[in-house]
Amino acid sequence: MAYFRFNFRKRKSMSWRKSISSAILLAAGFLILISCSGEPKTFSDVLVKVQGKPVAQAEIMIRDFCQRHDFPFTEDSVAYFLVENKTDSPAFVAGDFTQWRPDSIALKQIGKTHFYFAALKFPLNARLEYKFVIGKQWLLDPLNPFKEQGGYGENSVLMMPKYRFPREALLNPKLRISHLDTLIFKSRLLKNKRKIILYQHPKAKDKAPLLIFNDGSEYLRFARARIILDNLIGNNRIRPINVLFIDPVHRNKEYWLNDKYLRMVFRELLPFVLQRYGLHPDTLGFGGASLGGEIALYALKDYGKQLNFVFSQSGAVWIDNAKVLNVLQSIPEIKTKIYASYGLFEGKGIQQGHQRLKSILKKKNVLFKLERIPEGHNWGNWRGHLKDALIFLGGK
């Protein structure tokens, strides 16, 4: 009887162990089955899986992946661009990274499907704008929900994994206490009229710094300048300031190394604004983006003693054989504080020009900050780094 009981327990134990082993093997097999037949996790997986598949099945697999993921799909530092093209024309992607040349980067067809792709490598914190070009059509990316409005219309936006949207550009209703006053200014000097907007913060007294922006309305609309100013002042990141936003009338003409425009700003418009609003700023600043940044730097030639700080975002320092750089080099002494930035994905002229600018300012012992940003020539770039300019020029 004892033997029987002992034998029973031994067999029961062995049976239990066999059951556990079988369960482990079954689970392992199930996991292997899932990993082999499950949904692809990356677009590079999709490209492998569709090889050799019938066209209809391959297109179903691609569409299924697109329904579950936004594009461009990023894998580490690689971004996959994808577009469906049922025309006979080749497909291209153009953007900041091609200086918007339409036929620089051709997309490759996936097998014999109607889908075309490109795999491009970018810095992990890059932000870039782009469109697809098919035939003569420039197209937004239908697979990308992120779009940006700019001076030349709407573009699709690629944000690499480590890019962070500037929090200071998000509206905080509790800090929205500034006031905008809009006027039409008639210039006798230029014989024209233009819109000007004065930003006044209740904490900014009559002696508070005054900062002048070129491309005023676009800075307010596309760069969210009012929101950024409200947030930086409200969070004690910069001193309370007043800001004059000036709109151009003939932008290219006025900002293209134009002494007459600068005379209008500093000898006609500025005195008018100071008198009308009773302002007596202890410091004065001037700045802008692209041509607006170039003309701000050029202003140092005749108005350097008036200006305490200047900022230039992607300044067009290359125009007219880099005349503005030659002008800066010829100025005996520059006591103005200067902030300048440019994009890694802007043209060679801007990049090389800013390296020369850095050399000039260093030799003259100017207090300056120069930033190279992994972005392009657009308002998203200038909005994202306006904070850096304002804090450097007048931070607490």
Residue 3 has pLDDT above 60, yes or no: no
pLDDT digits (tens, 9 = 90+) for 198-249: 999 999 999 999 999 999 999 999 999 999 999 999 999 999 999 999 999 9
* Residue at 377 is within a domain: yes
Structure confidence at residue 115 (pLDDT): 98
CA separation for the pair 23, 250 (Å, rounded):
78
Residue 9 pLDDT exceeds 70: no
The closest alpha carbon to 129, from 116, 144, 118, 115, belongs to 144
Residues 145 and 288 in one domain: no
Angstrom distance (rounded) from CA 132 to CA 205: 49
Which CATH number is 286's domain given? Answer: 3.40.50.1820
Listing from the earlier edge strand, what are the strands of the sheet with 115-121? 73-75, 78-84, 115-121, 108-109
Q: Which of 159, 182, 202 is the last residue of a domain?
A: 159
The length of the chain is 396
Residue 35 lies inside a defined structural domain of this protein: no
| Tens of pLDDT, residues 47-97 | 999 999 999 999 999 999 999 999 999 999 999 999 999 999 999 999 999
Q: Is residue 390 domain-resident?
A: yes
pLDDT at 347 over 80: yes
For the chain, what is the mean pLDDT? 91
What domain range is 238 assigned to? 167-394
In this predicted structure, what is the pLDDT of residue 38? 66
Number of domains in the chain: 2
Question: 81 and 117 in contact (C-beta within 8 Å)?
Answer: yes
Q: What percent of the chain has pLDDT over 70?
A: 90
pLDDT of residue 8 exceeding 70: no
Per-residue confidence at 396, pLDDT binned at 50, 70, 90? low
Q: Can you tell me the distance from the alpha carbon of 354 to that of 342, in angstroms, rounded to the nearest whole number? A: 7
Identity of the amino acid at 19: S
The total of other beta-carbon atoms located within 10 Å of residue 70's CB is 12
**Model confidence pLDDT, tens digit, residues 179-201:** 999 999 999 999 999 999 999 99
* Tokens linked to 236: 């004690």
Q: Interior CA angle at 304 toward 203 and 229, to 5°?
A: 25
* CATH number assigned to the domain comprising residue 153: 2.60.40.10
CA distances in angstroms from 31 to 37, 59, 95, 301, listed in the order given: 10, 27, 42, 72
